[in-house]
Structure 1
Amino acid sequence: MNTDLKTYIERYTELELDLRKLIGRLSGTLCGECTRCCCDIIHCKEAIKSPFLKLIHRQADRFDDREGFLSATGCTLEQGRPSVCYEYFCDDHFYHQPDDLHAEILKILGALLLHATRNAQGNTALEDIKTEEELDQLDFLRLGKQLEESVLAIGIIRAFCRDGTLPEPALKTLRQIQIEE
């Protein structure tokens, strides 16, 4: 593994852990009371098919053919989850937002990991690259820039959650994050 990839993985992992904490804080009550399971083994399979995600979670040996990484209390992966695991919010999440701005911020929050990894190789996201050898040949200058945009965005969102204000320049920065529709 080259040093650019190693550095990127370390920074990406920090972002993912921050994202998990913030999403947990924002949706913990709603998700904690929910009786539906919004996860599926298909997503777990993505985490073991992706060389990038495997380098992050390092738990492919714990994958179960029937349950994936799922337990009775949810996903057992602390890091290295596919970006869809952060992108998805059920309709209840949006219903309980106080206004359209909060709903937009939630969508942006969910898009941060994909934004950090998009177009790693053409239109292919980093987690969709098929071999570890290909990972060593990527343009980490561009990926690093996207990652830092996501890091900046999570800081802005964290401040917004804390004090409820969002200056126009901060909103403009957030709107640069590409959201998959």
Structure 2
Amino acid sequence: MMLTLENLINEYAALETEIRKIMTHLFSGTCGLCTACCCRADICEEAVESAFLARLLKKQGLGEKDMDDRFGWLDLSGCSLDYGRPPVCYAYYCDELLARLPDDTHRYSAGVLGKLILHIGQQALGNRHLVEIMDPDDLEKINYDRVFQRLEEAQAAFEVIKAYLASGMLNKADREVLAVITTEEP
């Protein structure tokens, strides 16, 4: 596969869509129109301010005009975006969400699931995360080798998490795949 921005956008969107489906399955009963902590319009604004996330919104036919001033992208079932959410939307778990999970292994796997999007964009351009790039011209300057490597790591971890959620089993090799996501570079 060619390491291009368009390929990155397509691969990223596909993975984020799959992550969203699992998150929705796990937590939709809690997250719909919850504005207690994290789901606020000011956080949603990152999706239109970030050059990369704005490209993902455009791919869906969305833009700033489509975001609600009060609730951002939030609706009765949670976030209405298929992809293009700020990474914090996946990485943050309130106590109520964590309490829905049956044990520490489920909480660990959900924690890794929440870090996959964050992992992909780390150090995409120098020390900047992919979503911290505000100038669209800078998207052509990102370290494609690094971002695609991290995308592949996230995809591998996602497959492990899916298998774990289906089987309830997480072996040593699976944990090593997941550890790549939780062990960040300095």
Instruction: With the length of structure 1 as denominator, give the TM-score of the two structures.
Output: 0.88
Q: Name the counterpart of 1:100.
A: 104
Q: After superposition, give the CA deviation of every residue in 1:133-180 in whole Å (9 maximum; x if it has no partner).
A: 100111111100000100111110000000000110110110110378
- Measured after TM superposition, the shift of residue 63 of structure 1 is 2.8
Kept after mapping to 2: 8 A contact 1:107/1:179? no
Q: Name the counterpart of 1:27.
A: 27
Kept after mapping to 1: 8 A contact 2:32/2:77? no
Q: Given residue 90 of structure 1, which amino acid in structure 2 is its aligned partner? A: C
Q: Name the counterpart of 1:68.
A: 72
- Measured after TM superposition, the shift of residue 99 of structure 1 is 2.4
Kept after mapping to 2: 8 A contact 1:57/1:78? no
Q: Name the counterpart of 1:50.
A: 50
Cα distance in 2 between the residues matched to 1:71 and 1:57: 17
Cα distance in 2 between the residues matched to 1:32 and 1:77: 13
Kept after mapping to 1: 8 A contact 2:33/2:78? no
1:87 corresponds to 2:91: yes
- Measured after TM superposition, the shift of residue 88 of structure 1 is 1.6
Q: Name the counterpart of 1:142.
A: 146
Cα distance in 2 between the residues matched to 1:97 and 1:66: 30
Q: Name the counterpart of 1:5.
A: 5
1:51–1:162 Cα change, 3 Å = same
Cα distance in 2 between the residues matched to 1:97 and 1:67: 26
- Percent pairwise identity: 36
1:16–1:179 Cα change, 3 Å = farther
Q: Name the counterpart of 1:175.
A: 179
Cα distance in 2 between the residues matched to 1:68 and 1:29: 19
Kept after mapping to 1: 8 A contact 2:51/2:136? yes
Kept after mapping to 2: 8 A contact 1:120/1:138? yes
Instruction: With the length of structure 2 as denominator, give the TM-score of the two structures.
Output: 0.86
1:101–1:11 Cα change, 3 Å = same
Kept after mapping to 2: 8 A contact 1:45/1:68? yes
Kept after mapping to 1: 8 A contact 2:157/2:177? yes
Kept after mapping to 2: 8 A contact 1:111/1:179? no
Listed as ranges, the gaps of 5+ residues in structure 1 are none
Kept after mapping to 1: 8 A contact 2:32/2:78? no
